[in-house]
Amino acid sequence: MGATGAVGAEFVRLFESRNFPIEELTLLASSRSVGKTLPYKGRPVVIKEATEASVQGHDIVFFSAGATRSRALAPAALESGALVIDNSSAFRMDPEVPLVVPEVNADALTKEKRLISVPNCTAIILMVAVNPLRALGDIDRLIVSTYQSASGGGAAVMDYLVEDTRAVLQESDRPQKDGLPPYAFNLFSHNTAIGDGGYNEEELKVIEESRKILGDPALKVNVTCVRVPVLRAHTETVTVEFKGLAPSEDQVRTILETAPGVQVIDDRARNHFPTPALASGQGDVLVGRIRADISNPHGISLLIAGDQLLKGAALNAVQIAETYRQKFGN
Amino acid sequence: MGATGAVGAEFVRLFESRNFPIEELTLLASSRSVGKTLPYKGRPVVIKEATEASVQGHDIVFFSAGATRSRALAPAALESGALVIDNSSAFRMDPEVPLVVPEVNADALTKEKRLISVPNCTAIILMVAVNPLRALGDIDRLIVSTYQSASGGGAAVMDYLVEDTRAVLQESDRPQKDGLPPYAFNLFSHNTAIGDGGYNEEELKVIEESRKILGDPALKVNVTCVRVPVLRAHTETVTVEFKGLAPSEDQVRTILETAPGVQVIDDRARNHFPTPALASGQGDVLVGRIRADISNPHGISLLIAGDQLLKGAALNAVQIAETYRQKFGN
């Protein structure tokens, strides 16, 4: 459900590349996409309208069309007996719903809980890089600034970035997009609503979801979310503050080098570190600039990057389904 | 000196727009730019070669052609009796050389010290926003992530960003630039050499220069410098940690609203905050996203943006000259 979005297309590619055991693939979207097709294993699959009826009768339903659509249709899918894996924010903070990054908290999955939420993309990428460090000591606080790509806003925001950039280079009239600042060669504070405390919704998701995923309601998180003119893959600067003295840079590097879903790219001599270009199309979260925080003996700083559409969304959802089936069967 | 660079062009425009009291303007550059012209007050000024002889015989010499050129030629200018204002890193950390942001530490200027350094652009923008807060309490630590524009690398890096972006949009062969990653729709850790501690030169400049400008050698600074695909103006996320409890958000907003060189743009309802597009061409540093650090009672977080070519370079240099002349005459 949500097959025509930027994440939807990644789902179909992943089903194919991971040889996901599909007997019948049904692609659903809103009524205006009905009749379009997406290729799967060399054949076009026609998109049908998402309705309470059409989301029923499947073994697994992946939702990736925003919180409103998930709230409207996920109950029908669940009632029909499907395993429902939801990419939206609709159910993430429901205490009855597991919020899962398989490398981090696969143990939150139980056979009975058939509605599972995929965390916010920025939170997933952060958790994959940070969770392994808990083996070295308790974490007190995370300090994060994000460099989020257009893909987090969906295909329409990616198109807006391309069209606005083209307009600047051609010196033609610049497009406008509801509520977004100019985007070509520009960046802006994440365009979600700001609450009373001054944090935007994206930042609050990172804070609250990180706590839930790590099972640590006292975790402190300082975060600023910024959208940059990058098409795909999110980058984050991260300082991890430990409760005792921080582990050494070498201890951190060693543990990250074998951490699941992590790829260390940290070549100081060549100045070669994670970038969104390197992260795009990769399932791993890239980690580099590993160093002791020069301002705090309890801190370790990192630069991380991950593909928002893959590990930040579709791949994490598919991995949840694979993990659930491996643990509990259908 | 350095008239043909991205900063050099801004100098000439500022001399005109600020009605800088010039009797005779001499533009110097390397030999390959000799004979080119820049317009000043409606007339073309022919660029001459920078030599030990040609930097002598002026009241004020502004250097903006990198540390190597400054080291080679600034002594000759000084010996001839000129006031020398140097945009490069060559003399910044020399204890005998004032490192000045006029809004912050004009008191570091003395009549006798005729060589004055302009700080690193990222440090200037940071200091303009942070220094006013010292009236509210002692600062313990700054936590900074930067979103630095191509202009910090000079006109050649700006051209590379434009040409690489054009190549991506036209699906043509992409240009390469010595040691830089792909730049179109990409970002990368600042491309300066990394030292033993894992910090790059840009980050060490921010740390050391901030301490010198504020006269606080114990100031703690956590900083990660990143180059983003923005042509002009640097953005920074900043958390200021105070030694006691942090001042309230309102106290911070009130003091920033009247701080010299600062413009507060902080409209939560409209999601309207500092961006590099808004900062470009402006002399002020823009400050927004003012909020209490949700993770620390001692912290205040900010998002700031400033024009790297103006306040981060040429404007700060011209302001130093104006301030020196106002205090001490020629």
Name the strand (E) or helix (H) holding A125. helix A121-130
Contact predicate A107/A84, CB 8 Å: no
Angle of helix B155-170 relative to helix A155-170, nearest 10 degrees? Answer: 120
Name the strand (E) or helix (H) holding A322. helix A315-328
Give residue A7's Cα distance to chain centre.
10
Residue A330 has pLDDT above 80, yes or no: no
For an interface test with B, the pick among A176, A183, A224 (most B C-beta atoms closer than 10 Å) comes out as A224
Could you count the other beta carbons within 10 Å of the beta carbon of residue B298? Answer: 18
Token duo for residue B181: 């990653």
Contact predicate B306/B128, CB 8 Å: yes
Q: Which strands, in side-by-side order, build the sheet including A299-306? A: A220-224, A139-147, A234-242, A299-306, A285-292, A262-264
Residue B229 has pLDDT above 80, yes or no: yes
Which pairing describes strands B226-227 and B262-264: parallel, antiparallel, or unpaired?
Answer: unpaired
Mean pLDDT of B158-185: 96
Rounded CA-CA distance A34/A47 in Å is 5
Amino acid identity for residue A302 in this structure? L
Amino acid identity for residue B218 in this structure? A
**Interface list for A 129-168 with B (CB within 8 A):** 141-143, 145, 147, 161-162, 165-166
Residue A180 has pLDDT above 90, yes or no: yes
Rounded CA-CA distance B189/A289 in Å is 8
8 Å CB contact of B162 and A169 = yes
Q: CA nearest A200: which of A208, A191, A210? A: A191
Mean pLDDT of A278-298: 98
Three-state DSSP class for A182? coil
Quote the minimal CA–CA distance from A248 to chain B in Å. 12
Mean pLDDT of B281-298: 98
**Interface list for A 50-89 with B (CB within 8 A):** none
Three-state DSSP class for B235? strand
Contact predicate A286/A279, CB 8 Å: yes
When the pLDDT of each residue in chain A is averaged and rounded to a whole number, the result is 97
Three-state DSSP class for A29? strand
Angle of helix B121-130 relative to helix B201-214, nearest 10 degrees? Answer: 40
Q: CA-based angle A311:A28:A56, to the nearest 5?
A: 105
Q: How big is chain A by its Cα radius of gyration, in Å?
A: 20
Give residue B278's Cα distance to chain centre.
17
Residue B179 has pLDDT above 90, yes or no: no
pLDDT at res. B170: 97
Q: How confident is the model at residue A152 (pLDDT cuts 50, 70, 90)?
A: very high
Provide the whole-model pTM: 0.97
Cα distances (Å, whole numbers) of residue A170 to B155, B167, B230: 19, 13, 17
Q: CA-based angle A67:A76:A103, to the nearest 5?
A: 55
Amino acid identity for residue A168 in this structure? V
For residue B106, with 0-12 CB atoms within 10 Å meaning exposed, 13-18 middle and 19 or more buried, which class applies? middle
When the pLDDT of each residue in chain B is averaged and rounded to a whole number, the result is 97
For residue B175, with 0-12 CB atoms within 10 Å meaning exposed, 13-18 middle and 19 or more buried, which class applies? middle
Cα distances (Å, whole numbers) of residue A265 to A117, A269, B196: 30, 12, 17
pLDDT at res. A178: 87
Task: Work out the percent of chain A whose per-residue pLDDT is above 90.
Answer: 98
Nearest to A249 among B161, B165, B198 (CB): B198
Residue A75 has pLDDT above 80, yes or no: yes
pLDDT at res. B190: 98
8 Å CB contact of B237 and A224 = yes
Q: How confident is the model at residue B178 (pLDDT cuts 50, 70, 90)?
A: confident
Cα distances (Å, whole numbers) of residue B120 to A246, B76, B80, B109, B148: 30, 23, 26, 18, 12
Q: How confident is the model at residue A13 (pLDDT cuts 50, 70, 90)?
A: very high
Q: CA-based angle B113:B117:B118, to the nearest 5?
A: 140
Contact predicate B120/B209, CB 8 Å: yes
Mean pLDDT of A238-250: 97
Mean pLDDT of A56-74: 97
For an interface test with A, the pick among B148, B151, B183, B194 (most A C-beta atoms closer than 10 Å) comes out as B194
Quote the minimal CA–CA distance from B56 to chain A in Å. 39
Give residue A219's Cα distance to chain centre.
20
- Chain B residues whose CB is inside 8 A of the A192 CB are 271
CA dihedral for A147, A153, A154, A156, sign (positive or negative): negative
Could you count the other beta carbons within 10 Å of the beta carbon of residue A47? Answer: 20
Rounded CA-CA distance B106/B128 in Å is 12
For an interface test with A, the pick among B140, B148, B188, B230 (most A C-beta atoms closer than 10 Å) comes out as B188
8 Å CB contact of A268 and B194 = yes
Q: CA nearest B290: which of B279, B303, B299? A: B303
Name the strand (E) or helix (H) holding B96. none
pLDDT at res. B18: 97
A288 vs B: CB within 8 A: yes
| Secondary structure letter of residue A134 according to DSSP | G
Residue A179 has pLDDT above 90, yes or no: no
Mean pLDDT of B280-300: 98
Q: CA-based angle A30:A32:A35, to the nearest 5?
A: 95
8 Å CB contact of B230 and A185 = yes
Residue B33's DSSP bridge partners are: none
pLDDT at res. B130: 98
Q: What is the pLDDT of residues A107-142, one digit of tens each?
A: 999 999 999 999 999 999 999 999 999 999 999 999
Could you count the other beta carbons within 10 Å of the beta carbon of residue A141? Answer: 19
Q: Which residues of B are catalytic?
A: 121, 234
Rounded CA-CA distance A152/A122 in Å is 9
Contact predicate B107/B138, CB 8 Å: no
Give residue A170's Cα distance to chain centre.
34
Which pairing describes strands A83-86 and A115-117: parallel, antiparallel, or unpaired?
Answer: parallel
- Chain A residues whose CB is inside 8 A of the B230 CB are 185-187, 229
Quote the minimal CA–CA distance from A54 to chain B in Å. 38
Residue B330 has pLDDT above 80, yes or no: no
Amino acid identity for residue B311 in this structure? K
Give residue A328's Cα distance to chain centre.
24
8 Å CB contact of B222 and A295 = yes
Rounded CA-CA distance A290/A276 in Å is 17
Contact predicate A15/A22, CB 8 Å: yes
Q: How confident is the model at residue B329 (pLDDT cuts 50, 70, 90)?
A: confident
